Structure 1
Amino acid sequence: TYILLRAAVVGEGFLARDITFENTAGHAKHQAVALRVGSDLSAFYRCDILAYQDTLYVHSNRQFFINCLVAGTVDFIFGNAAAVLQDCDIHARLPGPGQKNMITAQGRKDPNQNTGIVIQKSRIGATSDLLLQTAGNMSYPTYLGRPWKEYSRTVIMQSEISDVVHSAGWHVWDADFALATLYYAEFENSGPGANTTARVDWEGYKVIGDESEVVGFTAEERAFRQKTRRRLIIVGISSILLVGIIIGAVAGVVIRNRKSGGGGSDADKLPPTESPAASLKAVCSVTQYPSSCYSSITALEGGSNSSDPEVLFRLSLRAAMAELSKLKDFPAAIQLPSDIANDTMLRQAINVCAAVFEDSVDRLNDSIASITAQPAGEGKQQQVLSRTWLSAAVTDLDTCLDAVQLNETEHPVNSAMENSTELASNSLAIVTKVLGLLSDFNIPIHKRRRLMTAEAKSDSGFPRWVSDGDRRLLQQVGGAGGLRPNVTVAQDGSGNFTTIAKAVELIPKKSLWKYIIYIKQGTYKENVILDKHRWNVLVYGDGKDKTIVSGSLNFVDGTPTFDTATFAVQGKNFMARDMKFINTAGPEKHQAVAFRSGADMSVYYRCSFDAYQDTLYPHSNRQFYRDCDITGTIDFIFGNAAVVFQGCKIQPRQPMSNQFNTITAQGKKDPNQNTGISIQKCDFTPLSANLTARTYLGRPWKDFSTTVIMQSSIGGFLNQLGWLPWVSGVEPPNTIFYAEYQNTGPGSSVAGRVKWAGYKPALTKDEAARFTVGSFIQGGAWLPATSVAFDSAL
Structure 2
Amino acid sequence: MVVLGISLIVIAAVVIGVVAGIDRPGDSNSDKMTQTESLDSVCGQTDYKQTCTASLQPAGMKAAVISYFRVAVNATLTAMAHAMKMVKADADAVSLDHESEKMALEDCIELIGLCMEELQSVITIFINSTTSTSFHYDSGDIRSSLSAVLSYQIACIEGLKESRSTSDNVDQILQKPTELTSNALAIIYEYSENDDAAADPQAAAAAMPPPPPPATSNDPIGPVGRQLLESGGGQMKPDAVVAKDKSGQYASIAAALNAYPNGHKGRYLIYVKSGVYEENVIIAKNTTQIFMYGDGLDKTIISGRDHFRGHGTTTYRRATLSVIGDGFICKDIGIKVPEKSRGKSMAAAVKMQSDRAAFFNCRINGSATSNIYALANRQLLVGCEIYGVTNIIRGDGAVVIQRSKIILTPPSSSSENNNNYNIIIALQGRSDRWESSGFVIQACTIRRDESYIYSPRSGVVVGKGGAYLGMAVANYSRTIVMESSLGDLIHPDGWYWDNNKKYAIENVTFAEYENMGPGSAATNSNINRSIHVISNSSDAMRYTAGRFIQAQNWFNGTLVPPFKPGLVFHNKR
Give the TM-score taking structure 1 as reference length.
0.60
Q: What secondary structure sits across from 2:391 in the alignment? A: strand
Q: Is the 8 A contact 1:470 1:785 kept in 2?
A: no
| Structure 1 residues 282 and 556: alpha-carbon distance in aligned structure 2, compared to 1, 3 A threshold | farther
- Tell me the equivalent position of 1:233: 27
Q: Cα deviations across residues 277-315 of structure 1 (Å, max 9, x unaligned)?
A: xx11211111111101111222x4xx2254211001000
1:675 aligned residue (437, 440, 448): 437
1:428 aligned residue (175, 182, 185): 185
Q: What secondary structure sits across from 2:479 in the alignment? A: strand
C-alpha displacement of 1:408 = 9.6
1:404 and 2:160 are equivalent in the alignment: yes
Q: Cα deviations across residues 399-442 of structure 1 (Å, max 9, x unaligned)?
A: 111111279997111111111111111111111112x1xx35xx
| Structure 1 residues 473 and 558: alpha-carbon distance in aligned structure 2, compared to 1, 3 A threshold | same
- Tell me the equivalent position of 1:225: none
C-alpha displacement of 1:636 = 1.6
Q: Is the 8 A contact 1:514 1:538 kept in 2?
A: yes
1:645 aligned residue (372, 381, 401): 401
- Tell me the equivalent position of 2:104: 349
C-alpha displacement of 1:732 = 4.8
1:413 and 2:166 are equivalent in the alignment: no
Q: What secondary structure sits across from 1:684 in the alignment? A: strand
| Structure 1 residues 233 and 509: alpha-carbon distance in aligned structure 2, compared to 1, 3 A threshold | same
Q: Is the 8 A contact 2:222 2:267 kept in 1?
A: no
Separation of aligned partners in 2, 1:489 and 1:746: 44
C-alpha displacement of 1:475 = 2.0
1:616 and 2:335 are equivalent in the alignment: no
C-alpha displacement of 1:557 = 4.7
Separation of aligned partners in 1, 2:277 and 2:198: 42
| Structure 1 residues 295 and 700: alpha-carbon distance in aligned structure 2, compared to 1, 3 A threshold | same
Matches within 5 A, 1:425-574: 425-434=182-191, 436=192, 439=193, 466-479=221-234, 482-509=235-262, 511-551=264-304, 552-553=306-307, 557-574=311-328
| Structure 1 residues 652 and 601: alpha-carbon distance in aligned structure 2, compared to 1, 3 A threshold | same
Separation of aligned partners in 1, 2:227 and 2:30: 45
Q: Cα deviations across residues 135-157 of structure 1 (Å, max 9, x unaligned)?
A: xxxxxxxxxxxxxxxxxxxxxxx
- Tell me the equivalent position of 2:542: 770
Q: Cα deviations across residues 429-469 of structure 1 (Å, max 9, x unaligned)?
A: 111112x1xx35xxxxxxxx56996786669x999775544
Separation of aligned partners in 1, 2:53 and 2:494: 43
Q: Is the 8 A contact 1:616 1:637 kept in 2?
A: yes
1:295 and 2:54 are equivalent in the alignment: yes
User: Pairwise CA RMSD of aligned residues?
Assistant: 3.1
Q: Cα deviations across residues 225-271 of structure 1 (Å, max 9, x unaligned)?
A: xxxx99x635897679755xxxxxxxxxxxxxxxxxxxxxxxxxxxx
Provide the aligned length of Structure 1 versus Structure 2: 510
1:736 and 2:508 are equivalent in the alignment: yes
| Structure 1 residues 706 and 554: alpha-carbon distance in aligned structure 2, compared to 1, 3 A threshold | farther
Q: Is the 8 A contact 2:252 2:277 kept in 1?
A: yes
Separation of aligned partners in 2, 1:450 and 1:334: 47
Higher relative contact order (CA 8 A, sep 6+): 2
Q: Cα deviations across residues 174-230 of structure 1 (Å, max 9, x unaligned)?
A: xxxxxxxxxxxxxxxxxxxxxxxxxxxxxxxxxxxxxxxxxxxxxxxxxxxxxxx99
Q: What secondary structure sits across from 2:79 in the alignment? A: helix
After superposing the two structures, state which structure 1 stretch, 747-756 or 488-497, moved more. Answer: 747-756
| Structure 1 residues 570 and 763: alpha-carbon distance in aligned structure 2, compared to 1, 3 A threshold | farther
Q: Is the 8 A contact 2:494 2:529 kept in 1?
A: no
1:390 and 2:142 are equivalent in the alignment: no
1:745 and 2:517 are equivalent in the alignment: yes
- Tell me the equivalent position of 2:456: none
Q: Cα deviations across residues 1-29 of structure 1 (Å, max 9, x unaligned)?
A: xxxxxxxxxxxxxxxxxxxxxxxxxxxxx
* Amino acid corresponding to residue 233 of structure 1 in structure 2: D
Matches within 5 A, 1:257-296: 279-296=38-55
2:424 aligned residue (662, 677, 684): 662
- Tell me the equivalent position of 1:605: 360
Separation of aligned partners in 1, 2:180 and 2:161: 22
- Which consecutive residues of structure 2, in runs of 5 or more, have no partner in the other structure? 1-23, 212-219, 454-461, 568-573
- Tell me the equivalent position of 2:570: none
Separation of aligned partners in 1, 2:408 and 2:209: 27
- Which consecutive residues of structure 1, in runs of 5 or more, have no partner in the other structure? 1-228, 244-278, 441-448
Q: Is the 8 A contact 2:283 2:325 kept in 1?
A: yes
Q: Is the 8 A contact 1:472 1:787 kept in 2?
A: no
Separation of aligned partners in 1, 2:128 and 2:303: 43
Separation of aligned partners in 2, 1:293 and 1:611: 42
- Tell me the equivalent position of 2:329: 575
* Amino acid corresponding to residue 560 of structure 2 in structure 1: S
Q: Cα deviations across residues 352-384 of structure 1 (Å, max 9, x unaligned)?
A: 111111111011111112124413132211222
| Structure 1 residues 556 and 672: alpha-carbon distance in aligned structure 2, compared to 1, 3 A threshold | farther
Q: Is the 8 A contact 2:362 2:383 kept in 1?
A: yes
Separation of aligned partners in 1, 2:197 and 2:295: 36
Q: Cα deviations across residues 684-710 of structure 1 (Å, max 9, x unaligned)?
A: 111233251431111111111111000
Give the TM-score taking structure 2 as reference length.
0.82
Separation of aligned partners in 1, 2:363 and 2:156: 28
1:307 and 2:60 are equivalent in the alignment: no
| Structure 1 residues 509 and 240: alpha-carbon distance in aligned structure 2, compared to 1, 3 A threshold | closer
What fraction of aligned residue pairs are identical, expressed as a percent?
A: 27
Separation of aligned partners in 2, 1:556 and 1:290: 47
Separation of aligned partners in 2, 1:235 and 1:524: 53
C-alpha displacement of 1:553 = 2.3
Q: Of Structure 1 and Structure 2, which has the larger fraction of its residues in helix?
A: 2
C-alpha displacement of 1:564 = 0.2
